[in-house]
């Protein structure tokens, strides 16, 4: 599959208003994992802003040790970012939220109606368009470096719960994202804008924007045979759930927090 780095450079120049990072992109037809390839490059002296892009992965990684199926035709991209700001290791999900919000908002600026499924999925028409895997290097309980891995379905085959961008654009009789290079540029600008929001405006502003695009708000869920409603997300990444019919009428309905990876929310039609 063809990918032109010069076309990516042109797309980045037209798509960025306030550059925050200096991107240094590297393209590979296939790698075991773009995240692992980028970590290897960082160990050899690569710097913040280095990007690895591939059109397939043989050993792609998803959240919680899952395999990320990565057939030819998708966009698989990893970006390295170093941090001078103090970000606690326990707040690593803030980087994922920043990336998810940034990418979704950039795609929406191109009239691709993307929402976010907690904590790290990009959804379109209620189906999975892509996902994000954040890996970090920590020193003295603070994050010093991160690799943000993103997989987006472009023209690759997808499971029933998935959707690829080209088929969706065909159904809309519109092609706002015209090529893989433009998609890669949109993803990179999205991560960059999300990180700028987090580092310059703070987690409260970022979370409010993230929640505006979160498709799970108001979802009914069941935890330990108790029903509840999704009402938000904590700065540490946990899902906030208000439990219903808990205890006696005199007791206030408690709010509980669910860690990522301990509950599955499924997919449904987006309403954002």
Query: Which range has the worst mean pLDDT, 10-24, 29-43, 54-68?
Result: 54-68
SS3 sequence of 82-122 = ECCCCCEHHHCHHHHHHHHHHHHHHHHHCCCCCEEECCCEE
Q: Is-cis flag, bond preceding 243, omega within 30?
A: no
The pLDDT of residue 84 is 86
Instruction: Convert the pLDDT of each residue in 220-251 to its tens digit.
Output: 988 877 888 999 999 999 999 998 765 555 44
CA distance 246 to 241: 12
pLDDT band at 199 (very low <50, low <70, confident <90, very high): very high
Inform me whether the pLDDT recorded for 38 exceeds 80. Answer: yes
Calculate the alpha carbon distances from 119 to 48, 68, 96, 210 in Å. Answer: 25, 16, 8, 10
In which band, very low, low, confident or very high, does the pLDDT at 178 lie, cut at 50, 70 and 90?
very high
Residue 132 in tokens: 């994000």
pTM of the model: 0.91
Give 42 or 86, the one with higher predicted confidence: 42
pLDDT band with cut points at 50, 70 and 90 for residue 113: very high
Give 5-212's CATH code, choosing from 2.60.120.10, 3.30.2390.10, 3.30.930.10, 3.40.50.300.
3.30.930.10
Burial class (CB in 10 A: 0-12, 13-18, 19+), 235: middle
């Amino acid at each position: 599959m063809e990918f032109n780095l010069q076309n990516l450079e042109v797309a980045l120049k037209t798509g960025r208003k306030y550059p925050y990072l200096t991107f240094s992109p590297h393209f590979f037809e296939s790698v075991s994992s773009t995240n692992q390839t980028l970590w290897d490059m960082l160990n050899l002296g690569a710097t913040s802003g280095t990007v690895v892009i591939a059109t397939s992965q043989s050993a792609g990684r998803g959240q919680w040790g899952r395999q990320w199926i990565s057939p030819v035709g998708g966009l698989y991209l990893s970006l390295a970012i170093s941090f001078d700001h103090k970000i606690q290791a326990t707040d690593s999900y803030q980087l994922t939220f920043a990336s998810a919000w940034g990418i979704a908002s950039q795609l929406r600026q191109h009239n691709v109606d993307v929402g976010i499924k907690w904590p790290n999925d990009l959804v379109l028409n209620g189906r999975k368009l892509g996902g994000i895997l954040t890996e970090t290097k920590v020193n003295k309980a603070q994050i010093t470096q991160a690799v943000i891995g993103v997989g987006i379905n472009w023209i690759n085959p997808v499971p029933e719960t998935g959707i690829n961008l080209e088929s969706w654009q065909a159904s809309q009789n519109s092609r706002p994202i015209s090529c893989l290079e433009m998609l890669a540029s949109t993803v990179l600008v999205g991560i960059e804008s999300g990180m700028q929001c987090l580092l310059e405006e703070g987690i409260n502003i970022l979370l409010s924007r993230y929640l505006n695009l979160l498709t799970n708000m108001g979802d009914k869920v069941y935890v330990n045979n108790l029903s509840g409603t999704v009402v938000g997300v904590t700065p540490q990444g946990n899902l906030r759930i208000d439990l219903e019919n808990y205890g006696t009428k005199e007791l206030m309905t408690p709010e509980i927090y669910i860690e990522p990876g301990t509950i599955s929310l499924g997919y449904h039609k987006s309403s954002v």
